[in-house]
Structure 1
Amino acid sequence: MSVRARPISPHLQIYRWTVTMTMSILHRATGIANYAGMALFVIWLVAAAFGQDALMSVNFIFGSWFGQIVLFGFTWSLVHHMLGGLRHWVWDFAAMMEPGQREAMAWATIIGSVLITLLIWTVFVWAA
């Protein structure tokens, strides 16, 4: 009886890494991060319900340099996930599916999420 070698499934050693692969991972990661960010929002709402002292404590934490980084990241996560969802919505209509178009949409999602996040923070946080 001879033993035949089974075919090996292609893996990252064979495939060239693409921006659309990165976007797939980022879309899932931002979805998970949005759950954590919503927990922060719930903490803020509960603190507001408990009164001024609890709200001031939470606002102090969220206003610290670390809290601001976390909230900035949460804002980016929300925007990036939203734009990724819009990208998938466009694909539901079988539009923008050609290789060059897919990469262009992926880059537009990355760049757009950073620019929109900066715009939100510039207008609503840093200018206040």
Structure 2
Amino acid sequence: MSSSPTTGDKATDRTGRFVRQPNGRITPLSPHLQTWRWHVTMTASILFRVTIGAASVGAFFGLAWLGLAACGPEAYDTARGLAGSPFGLFIGFGLTVVLFSFVLNGGRHLINDTGNGLTLKSATLLSNIAVWAPIPLAILFWAALFATGRVSL
């Protein structure tokens, strides 16, 4: 008898990392790329976790801005200058993408938590919206900011 868990004998798996499925197939205990085909819902799930991390970085920038504002007018003018620089605008655009991604993915989760949007077709649609819509929405938002004169280079 072979000691490989791929032989179909769960008893030979001493690692505990493999499990026999009801159809008799031996698979990893945790779903992995070897088990699942890639789907847009996986991308949406991963991006949601990434946006949480990026929002944390954005919170740091917000806290730094508040700290500089509390340090006086000179420090605040420095912060405004950095925020208005091309690099600062790039960071602002990125955080806007994060905001839209967070809101759209949160909406997707809210819909799913009510028991709706769980069919393959609706889950795919909601995930595609959550994955692809943040960038065009951020572009439209920043175009409106530039068009109204609230932001300039």
Alignment correspondent of 2:16: none
Taking the aligned partners of 1:109 and 1:35, their CA distance within structure 2 comes to 19
Map 1:4-15 → 2, pairs under 5 A: 4-6=3-5, 7-9=26-28, 11-15=32-36
User: Which stretch of the first structure deviates more once superposed, 54-63 or 24-33?
Assistant: 54-63
Alignment correspondent of 2:91: 70
Q: 1:61 aligns with which of 79, 82, 86?
A: 82
Does the alignment pair 1:22 with 2:21? no
- The list of structure 1 runs, each at least 4 consecutive aligned residues, that deviate by more than 6 angstroms after superposition, is none
Q: 1:36 to 1:125 in 2, by over 3 A?
A: farther
- Overall identity of the aligned pairs, in %: 30
User: How far 1:3 sits from its partner (Å)?
Assistant: 4.3
Q: Any unmatched runs of 5+ in structure 2?
A: 6-25
Contact in 1 for aligned 2:47/2:131 (Cα 8 Å): no
Q: How many residues align?
A: 127
User: Which stretch of the first structure deviates more once superposed, 67-76 or 13-22?
Assistant: 13-22
Q: Normalized per residue, which structure has more helix?
A: 1
Does the alignment pair 1:44 with 2:65? yes
Give the root-mean-square deviation of aligned CA atoms.
1.8
Alignment correspondent of 1:101: 122
Taking the aligned partners of 2:111 and 2:146, their CA distance within structure 1 comes to 31
1:2-55 superposed Cα distances (whole Å, 9 cap, x missing partner): 444323415314422111111111000001100100111111122122222111
Q: 2:102 aligns with which of 78, 81, 89?
A: 81
SS at match of 2:33: coil
1:59-93 superposed Cα distances (whole Å, 9 cap, x missing partner): 22222222211111011101111110111000011
Taking the aligned partners of 2:38 and 2:3, their CA distance within structure 1 comes to 31
SS at match of 1:97: coil
Q: Provide the TM-score with structure 1 as the length reference.
A: 0.87
Amino acid at match of 2:84: G
User: Which stretch of the first structure deviates more once superposed, 52-61 or 4-13?
Assistant: 4-13
Q: Any unmatched runs of 5+ in structure 1?
A: none
User: How far 1:126 sits from its partner (Å)?
Assistant: 5.1
